[in-house]
Amino acid sequence: MKKLFLFLSLALLSLTFINAQKTNLIFFSEQGERFSVILNGILQNPKPETNVKVTDLPAPNYKVKIIFEDVKLGELDKNLMFGQGTETTFCIKKNNKGEYTIRYMNEVPITEAPPTTSGQTSVVYTTTAPPPNTVTHTQTTTTTTGDNTDPNSVVVGINVSDPNGGVNFNMNVNTSDNTTTTSTYSTTTTTTTTTSNSGDYPPTPPPTNNTYVLPGYNGPIGCPYPMTPQDFSSAKSTIASKSFEDSKLSIAKQIINTNCLLSAQVKEIMMLFSFEDTRLDFAKYAYGYTYDMGNYYVVNDAFTFESSIDELNQYTSGFRK
């Protein structure tokens, strides 16, 4: 009996742990632009919204694409990384250059996350694309002819209806020199149905291969796709522009919260800090956001003291994402 109780307790704890690792993502537009969310090539919300919550995500990082309903606003692509077991919020807004971007806002433990709010669309994360919305147009034409007292008499009735558009049009035409006719008619009805995309949301693009390959590297991978040299250069300049050490560290952590780095890039950012303790703090934080985790030894060159290298090695050896 004790063994059964222990087994059930362990099963319950395991289930609780698994559920705790589930993650929610919230995307909202600062100015109310409507958009669709695509995660790893799969559309999540069936139609564009201004605030979308995607729940029950099992992984800590995704390739996200934001497609605006207004095609003139373009699209956004971003590699997102976030803590598991949290509800993380991102804002879609314009930066100082007037360009749209995805900005990290905040995160809370999933157990403390508030319920879905009014005006917010909540969808469960899916790996299956939803079917496209369709509109069906039906046209029915009825032609009636017969033996009239006027041999040139023809009566034609046409009915066109669109159940989705709320359109109903009827027309009857009687061509006869003699308005009084007594006849027996035969009726033929033809129905034509056409189906088309409704255009309520952008068509789901085919899944793309977002796997990055680092030449000559076969070790463990911590995140899916590292920052491009251009994006990294911009991020590095932003960090370097800050005057205080604490400000540099805060900005650096914000940047890697939503990006993926190479070990060599981590080292470059570490060299922007003046103090050993700050470099060690950042090296620990960045490890879980590094693509080539097997090459992380290269960051040791940024340290002055052997004790910092030993402390980092101890941290990475017991690291759990």
- The residue ranges of every structural domain in the chain are 2-124, 134-197, 229-317
Q: Please tell me the predicted confidence (pLDDT) of residue 28.
A: 95
pLDDT tens per residue, range 273-290: 999 999 999 999 999 899
Does the 2-124 domain belong in CATH 2.60.40?
yes
| Cross-strand bridge partners of residue 159 | 140, 170
Q: Please tell me the predicted confidence (pLDDT) of residue 222.
A: 87
**Looking at the predicted structure, is the pLDDT value of residue 231 above 50?**
yes
- The token pair at 120 is 């917010």
Lowest mean pLDDT among 27-36, 82-91, 118-127, 158-167: 158-167
**Looking at the predicted structure, is the pLDDT value of residue 169 above 70?**
no
- The token pair at 288 is 């879980």
Q: Which residue's entry shows tokens 């995309």?
A: 197
Q: Please tell me the predicted confidence (pLDDT) of residue 206.
A: 46
**Looking at the predicted structure, is the pLDDT value of residue 265 above 90?**
yes
Per-residue pLDDT averaged across 164-192, rounded?
A: 49
Lowest mean pLDDT among 41-45, 81-85, 198-202: 198-202
Q: CA 212, CA 260: separation in Å to the nearest integer? A: 11
Res. 34 pLDDT band, cuts 50 70 90: very high
Q: Please tell me the predicted confidence (pLDDT) of residue 115.
A: 87
**β-strands 86-94, 51-57 pairing:** unpaired
Q: What angle do CA 104, 292, 256 make, to 5 degrees?
A: 15
Per-residue pLDDT averaged across 53-69, rounded?
A: 90
**Looking at the predicted structure, is the pLDDT value of residue 235 above 80?**
yes
Highest-confidence segment of 1-10, 78-87, 170-179 = 78-87
What mean pLDDT is reported for the chain? 78
Q: Please tell me the predicted confidence (pLDDT) of residue 44.
A: 94
Q: Which amino acid is at 280?
A: L
**Looking at the predicted structure, is the pLDDT value of residue 29 above 50?**
yes
Q: Please tell me the predicted confidence (pLDDT) of residue 269.
A: 96
Q: Please tell me the predicted confidence (pLDDT) of residue 131.
A: 58
Q: Please tell me the predicted confidence (pLDDT) of residue 152.
A: 53
